[in-house]
Amino acid sequence: MGARATLVTGGAGFIGSHLVAALLARGDRVRVLDDFSSGRRDFLPDHPGLEVVAGDVRDPGALRAALAGVDVVFHQAALRSVPRSVEYPYDYHDVNVTGTLRLLLAARDAGVRRLVFASSSSVYGEQAILPLHEELRPLPISPYGASKLAGEHYCANFARHYGLQTVALRYFNVFGPRQDPASEYSAVIARFIEAAGRGAPVEIHGDGKQTRDFTYVSNVVDANLQAAQVPGVSGEVFNIACGARYSVLDIADRLGEVFGRALPRRHSPGRPGDVRDTLADIARARARLGYAPAVDFTEGLRRTVRAFST
DSSP reduced 3-state for 60 = helix
Closest CA to 282 of 228, 242, 225, 309: 242
Give the active site residues: 144
Q: Report yes or no: 166 and 174 within 8 Å, Cβ to Cβ.
A: no
CA-CA-CA-CA dihedral for 134, 136, 139, 143, to nearest 10: 0
Phi and psi based region of residue 125 (left: phi greater than 0; alpha: psi -120 to 50; beta: remaining): left
- DSSP one-letter code for 138: P
Residue 103, CA atoms < 13 Å, CB-side half-sphere = 34
Distances (CA, A) of 186 to 74, 112, 175, 193, 260: 22, 33, 10, 12, 24
252, containing H or E segment: helix 248-259
Q: Report yes or no: 68 and 107 within 8 Å, Cβ to Cβ.
A: no
Distances (CA, A) of 261 to 196, 197, 205, 252, 255: 10, 11, 21, 11, 9
